[in-house]
Structure 1
């Protein structure tokens, strides 16, 4: 009996030990002082323990230390990076990263209200895109002497590659900026939502500027001026293009050029509107004519706050998913009658044969009945839509990912004799759907988070359903269910 009791106690001790070790495993959080960390490596044998910063709290000047002692196992843990999208408290005015810190994940330290300065150690080697977005008080970076990757200039800009790459421009600086001819490359998101920037002058030496989702110039400036001898880029009326003006890279956030009645007509040579090209553009831009444009990239127009009317020209043949996101004042899309790929109906963009619904203006309100014959609702077609009620046709077979996400719809009518077979991930996530919902028997595929974060009280699955599984969080985070 004593031996059995002893074995049980040993087993219990082992279970507690394993549980404690698991609690400190890779991916778990812990806090020391005002800084929160996440374990990235934990080896109690070799003591090769590392962690990433996941939140910086406190006020005033904050130093991220080289290492900390884990509060549970008392192991020394070395701080080597910041987890992507890490932020800091509003009261933090400066951050100093200590020796051993090497990597900053994408999207870190955005919209920090009082951050003025950031200091990097000589061990720092990697900054991912999207960091330090819209920090309106950030005026300087500093790099400890001896860093072989990064440096700063006398204006506090973060430079890389021996000073030839402009890695990050302090987003709190104001006024006009002239990029020196020592710079050959402007890194992705180097200018990341600068609220008070004026004219940007680009020299002939700059031969690499990122375009697209991680554009070098995200929501900045009043006017671009490119040296005429630059081999790769050109400015036309203050707008930034590639050299042959076939791609529109960036339209200035606070454009100071001429906009008759708030309308901008894209030059006839432009074939592509790059991602984020019109991101966060101020209310001065109210209408756009896409002229001979062929491709409108994803998020080309994102938070274009004043845009009300969009004219799709005859040559547009590719409108990528989410091309117009968070443009809350758009009331209609007008498609040229000679366009071979698209058409419009009540201001909504369809394919020419009306089988695919591509895009609904966010500002359109009330109820809408999708017409019979429509087969597919494309991804993000009604993203953030102000419509309150939707009725589907019997011909509809697919609602793609995030098609109605963040929309105001509170009532969804699948209609009679539904043939809907596929509902994409987050298709109706974060909407105002309420009351009861009966999922048609025809639905066979239900994406993850399809109805996540809605206010539905009852969900019924019709008799004879073809649905084989309820995917992850398909009906998650629904407190009224």
Structure 2
């Protein structure tokens, strides 16, 4: 059996037919909704959600709150069950279901007639079934009557001032239905004292509505009831029967200036007053227990808020980005909040409720004016980014029970002084990154120090590491420009220190050399086999360095502005990427023959004048010497994977030209006949070269391999040259006039891209 409902009348009838006889089966009252009564699987899921948690997406699509949707579905199911019960009785005759409007109605909806066994129910029988219905019109108001109560369904007038009567035809007006006044031009409306409920979206987008008084009889308001009422300035609640302010009820009421929540209200729904940008005063009722997510988010005019004693939960971002909120008061020790006050940039002080055992994640994120924080004596944990970006927070007293500080908890804050409590065990990544602390003494129970914990603490001078520390990330002290000394307790089983330098226990790994340690020379101890990443990075005092570790990790000696001379002792095998990059005064590098691998940009942007290439070298990145514009010659063996001939560096048995020295004094150069490929940056920034000759064996010229050669005037390719790549090999050689070579498409393209003339052989 299939039921199909099309008409939107409030009273609908179900009839059973058997031949010419008709029995009235049952009368059902179903409120009209601007949606289909056929539920999809997703809509059923939305209906089954928590009444106040039904997703906005489905509330907006289906039109109404989750509770209204549930009631509607129950009635539809009842109809279907009744039909299923009577279907077996109709085996001998055709079953047809029909409905129509009543005789007294001013509007008649279409009649749907069902067919069974190929026969159509006679229309006169359906007509006989009509009975009185109470749907009607009262001036510009449309309504229906259900259980002797009137529900206003719509407003069709053009008037700006509306008075809803307390009764129609002797029946009390009790409800305003879904969307009844939505998108109308009303400026004011008077609601009767008989009114009990205002359904979802009832006044949505009434952009001219300026004030509303909720009568004392109202016990229910649906979600989005006053959504988008841009000019609504005043809302007066005369009711003490209302238990909640639903989700998005007054969202985007941008002119609303103040609100007093009735004493009967227990919860304020998500986004209830979101973006009420002129709302400067909020008085919460004494029974409020829950303020849901985003309830007062982005109320830019709100300056203070006091939470009554019964408030237990303030959800995520409830007051997020309230930029003028200066004062927050909790009257109960049992109140708890989450990321509720993030980016409240005017907030100056906060007292955490007594029974909060932790400071929530991002609780005061971006509260740039926060100066004073009083933690609960029960606080055990400060979570991730709790005080991130609190620039005005200079000091904080940690309670005795705190055992962990989460990632970035005080990152970017203005902390100058902090005394860590005795029970502290864990400090998360970046916990104090970028703060202004000068000295840190870690308590005796700290076990782990995360990555970048004190990174960019530019005023930190010294730090003491206790015996309890088991794990310490090597990047913990990066960017600490003032750090002169790191001291480790002699009882520590995992780490040690010598002359202010941090090592592992056995001094086989050098972890951190303080950035502001003022020694001019340093020799890495012979016991060290590994130098960790960025260990010396940014130290501006060292001028001479002797290194003997087998493995030197990324950026270990990068950006050392005064480093001039480096001796890489025997035993060093691996120089990783960017190890000496940016050492702008480095001129001398003495490299032992034991080195087998040099990573990308290892010596980039230095001023080395010459360098010896080890005979045992097996790996050398193409850009190792990028930006090294002072090299006049390479030295080394003429055999091996990497070889040197006439001061020029080759690889692949001499078949690939890797690097031509920028300061080589020759004005011309003939590429050896065995060379078939020129690597990228091979002839970059060469100063003296005027003429460059290639043999016919050249096949591959990498992109921009001849770059910014300021005196280069001609490039010659021998007859018979057959290039396979090289159209974009030459760039920024402003004096290049001619390219000479056989007639070939790639050479023609090369000349065109270089701004030169091709002269064919």
TM-score by length of 1: 0.54
Give me the whole-angstrom Cα distance separating, in 2, the residues matched to 1:334 and 1:368: 18
Closer, same or farther: CA 216–399 of 1 in aligned 2, 3 Å: farther
Q: Which residue of 2 aligns with 1:368?
A: 522
Question: Conserved in 2, the CA contact under 8 Å of 1:441 and 1:464?
Answer: yes
Question: Conserved in 1, the CA contact under 8 Å of 2:296 and 2:319?
Answer: no
Deviation at 1:408, TM superposition (A): 2.8
Q: Which residue of 1 aligns with 2:626?
A: 476
Deviation at 1:151, TM superposition (A): 8.3
Closer, same or farther: CA 463–233 of 1 in aligned 2, 3 Å: closer
What is the CA deviation profile of residues 121-148 of structure 1, one whole-angstrom value per residue up to 9, with x for unaligned ones? x9xxxxxxxxxxxxxxxxxx9799xxx9
Deviation at 1:294, TM superposition (A): 1.6
Give me the whole-angstrom Cα distance separating, in 1, the residues matched to 2:435 and 2:370: 10
Q: Which residue of 1 aligns with 2:424?
A: 270
Give me the whole-angstrom Cα distance separating, in 2, the residues matched to 1:477 and 1:167: 53
Q: Which residue of 2 aligns with 1:247?
A: 404
Within the alignment, does 1:359 sit opposite 2:512 as a pair? yes
What is the CA deviation profile of residues 47-90 of structure 1, one whole-angstrom value per residue up to 9, with x for unaligned ones? xxxxxxxxxxxxxxxxxxxxxxxxxxxxxxxxxxxxxxxxxxxx
Question: Conserved in 1, the CA contact under 8 Å of 2:301 and 2:323?
Answer: no
Q: Which residue of 2 aligns with 1:443?
A: 595
Give me the whole-angstrom Cα distance separating, in 1, the residues matched to 2:371 and 2:564: 43
Within the alignment, does 1:455 sit opposite 2:606 as a pair? yes
What is the CA deviation profile of residues 325-363 of structure 1, one whole-angstrom value per residue up to 9, with x for unaligned ones? 221111111111111111111110111211111111111
2:297 to 152, 157, 181: 152
Deviation at 1:207, TM superposition (A): 7.0
Within the alignment, does 1:279 sit opposite 2:433 as a pair? yes
Closer, same or farther: CA 168–377 of 1 in aligned 2, 3 Å: farther
Question: Conserved in 2, the CA contact under 8 Å of 1:223 and 1:239?
Answer: no
Deviation at 1:475, TM superposition (A): 2.8
1:225 to 358, 374, 392: 374
Higher relative contact order (CA 8 A, sep 6+): 1
Q: Which residue of 2 aligns with 1:332?
A: 485
Alignment of 1:24-423 (within 5 A): 152-155=297-300, 164-166=315-317, 184-186=337-339, 198-202=348-352, 209-210=360-361, 221-227=370-376, 233=382, 238-239=396-397, 245-249=402-406, 250-251=409-410, 253-255=413-415, 264-282=418-436, 285-365=438-518, 366-394=520-548, 396-417=549-570, 419-423=571-575
Tell me the secondary structure at the aligned position of residue 238 of structure 1.
strand
Give me the whole-angstrom Cα distance separating, in 1, the residues matched to 2:578 and 2:329: 44
Question: Conserved in 1, the CA contact under 8 Å of 2:508 and 2:527?
Answer: yes
Question: Conserved in 2, the CA contact under 8 Å of 1:451 and 1:474?
Answer: yes
Closer, same or farther: CA 434–405 of 1 in aligned 2, 3 Å: closer
Give me the whole-angstrom Cα distance separating, in 2, the residues matched to 1:185 and 1:425: 43
Tell me the secondary structure at the aligned position of residue 497 of structure 2.
strand
Closer, same or farther: CA 156–233 of 1 in aligned 2, 3 Å: farther
Query: Which segments of 5 or more consecutive residues in structure 1 lack a partner in the other structure?
Result: 1-121, 123-140, 158-162
Deviation at 1:287, TM superposition (A): 4.1
RMSD (CA atoms): 4.5
Deviation at 1:304, TM superposition (A): 1.9
Structure showing the higher strand proportion among its residues:
1
Closer, same or farther: CA 177–422 of 1 in aligned 2, 3 Å: farther
Give me the whole-angstrom Cα distance separating, in 1, the residues matched to 2:342 and 2:377: 23
Give me the whole-angstrom Cα distance separating, in 2, the residues matched to 1:218 and 1:349: 36
Tell me the secondary structure at the aligned position of residue 322 of structure 1.
helix
Give me the whole-angstrom Cα distance separating, in 2, the residues matched to 1:279 and 1:463: 41
Deviation at 1:324, TM superposition (A): 0.9
Deviation at 1:201, TM superposition (A): 4.5
Closer, same or farther: CA 206–271 of 1 in aligned 2, 3 Å: closer
Tell me the secondary structure at the aligned position of residue 280 of structure 1.
coil
Question: Conserved in 1, the CA contact under 8 Å of 2:565 and 2:587?
Answer: no
Give me the whole-angstrom Cα distance separating, in 2, the residues matched to 1:169 and 1:149: 7
Q: Which deviates further from its counterpart, 148-157 or 291-300? A: 148-157
Give me the whole-angstrom Cα distance separating, in 2, the residues matched to 1:467 and 1:171: 61
Closer, same or farther: CA 333–377 of 1 in aligned 2, 3 Å: same
Deviation at 1:185, TM superposition (A): 3.7
Give me the whole-angstrom Cα distance separating, in 2, the residues matched to 1:143 and 1:467: 67
Question: Conserved in 1, the CA contact under 8 Å of 2:297 and 2:319?
Answer: no
Q: Which residue of 1 aligns with 2:742?
A: none
Question: Conserved in 1, the CA contact under 8 Å of 2:357 and 2:376?
Answer: no
Give me the whole-angstrom Cα distance separating, in 2, the residues matched to 1:371 and 1:455: 25
Question: Conserved in 2, the CA contact under 8 Å of 1:219 and 1:279?
Answer: no
Give me the whole-angstrom Cα distance separating, in 2, the residues matched to 1:170 and 1:278: 24
Deviation at 1:311, TM superposition (A): 0.7
Look at both structures and tell me which one has the larger radius of gyration over its CA atoms: 2
Closer, same or farther: CA 416–266 of 1 in aligned 2, 3 Å: same
Give me the whole-angstrom Cα distance separating, in 2, the residues matched to 1:467 and 1:381: 26
Question: Conserved in 2, the CA contact under 8 Å of 1:402 and 1:429?
Answer: yes
Closer, same or farther: CA 309–474 of 1 in aligned 2, 3 Å: same
Give me the whole-angstrom Cα distance separating, in 2, the residues matched to 1:150 and 1:167: 5
Deviation at 1:422, TM superposition (A): 1.6
Give me the whole-angstrom Cα distance separating, in 1, the residues matched to 2:625 and 2:330: 51
Question: Conserved in 1, the CA contact under 8 Å of 2:568 and 2:590?
Answer: no
Closer, same or farther: CA 233–179 of 1 in aligned 2, 3 Å: farther
TM-score by length of 2: 0.36
1:434 to 570, 581, 586: 586
Question: Conserved in 2, the CA contact under 8 Å of 1:219 and 1:280?
Answer: no
Question: Conserved in 2, the CA contact under 8 Å of 1:295 and 1:318?
Answer: yes
